[in-house]
Chains A and B, each alone.
Chain A
Amino acid sequence: MANEIQIQVNGEPRGWRAGGTVADLLSDLAITTERVAVELNLEILDRKDFGQRSLREGDRVEILGFIGGGCGTKGESDGRER
């Protein structure tokens, strides 16, 4: 059995099998690869490289997608007139 490594996915620590690729991780998480962006240690990956990039100990992976939003979603003021 492959060695287990520790990685971080969307800020959460997670055990992962050594040699597993980004595509494997997405598949394990039941995330379809279209419509997501993956950042590996701050580098945005090309979708066609998901299957080639294997993850290493300490890697930080961010998986992002689209959610509902208009403007200024974060830190929105309460909207009351002052």
Chain B
Amino acid sequence: MDANDRLTIAGHEFRSRLWVGTGKYKDFAETKKAIEASGADVVTVAVRRVNITDRSKENLLDYIDPKKYTILPNTAGCYTVEDAVRYARLARAAGISDLVKLEVLGDEKTLFPDTAGLIEAAKILIKEGFIVLPYTNDDPIVAKKLVDIGCPAVMPLAAPIGSGLGIRNPYNLKIIMETVKVPIIVDAGVGTASDAALAMEYGADAVLMNTAIAGAQHPIAMAEAMKYAVYAGRLAYKAGRIPRKLYATASSPIEGML
């Protein structure tokens, strides 16, 4: 990968433009292998009660070294502003950094963000010094509001979490990219490598996924596929694609023909 093509968000510098979640894997060993194969240097984690009855259980962070990876705690599973704020504070108290991936979910069936709640929670957390990366809808107006209140990046979804539907509204994503001048991380809904490549070709700054890798028949192989997809998409975006045209344009010269 191009060592100079770094992504910087609020002073944090990232090598990788593929970010991965750590849920749904068979075990921690598989999680670790998949993350390594993906080349990601940002991994999301959730905050939950520690198992106090069975202390023999291993800890995720024994497998994922916080010195090697940026650990990005999320507020996954929070459906209210109060819960999301509480979990964000707990994540910070558990002590990695001020970074939080903020989720305020709207309903259990779609897991779509409750964007009104998201903005409210983001305001509270930003005031407390958090670096809020909000998981939001593919809505340019909401994205702009989130940036206006101080989010240093926005994370619009491609499709519902875990759906694997790919980018359902590429035009909205493009409008978001033109509307806000902060990094855009396409989060959730990617199904396979071409979805990730497409997101990057559109101009996303990074892609975050979990289920597309963890739920694949061969997660470690899919992690590697995603690494190359994100890389290829990024290169293609920077290279600048040709415009689409209805009719052919010959690519061999006429000159010299018999």
Contacts and interface: CB of A to CB of B under 8 A. Distances in A.
Interface of A: 9-12, 29-31, 34-39, 44-47, 62-77, 79, 81
5 tightest A-B CB contacts, nearest first: A70-B21, A70-B210, A69-B46, A74-B77, A37-B93
A30 B162 CA distance: 35
B163 interface: yes
B60 interface: yes
Contacts of A9: 52
B73 interface: yes
A2 B83 CA distance: 37
Given A66-B46, A69-B76, A77-B110, A47 B93 contact: yes
Contacts of B103: 71-72
Interface size class of B (residues with CB under 8 A): 35 or more
Interface string B181-210: 000000110000000000000000000111
A47 B96 CA distance: 13
Given A69-B22, A69-B210, 11 more contacts: A31-B50, A39-B90, A44-B89, A64-B48, A66-B46, A70-B22, A70-B188, A70-B209, A70-B210, A71-B135, A76-B162
Main secondary structure of the interface of A (DSSP, over half): loop
Interface string B145-187: 0000000000000001111110000000000000000000001
A37 B76 contact: no
B45 A64 contact: no
B256 interface: no
B164 A71 contact: no
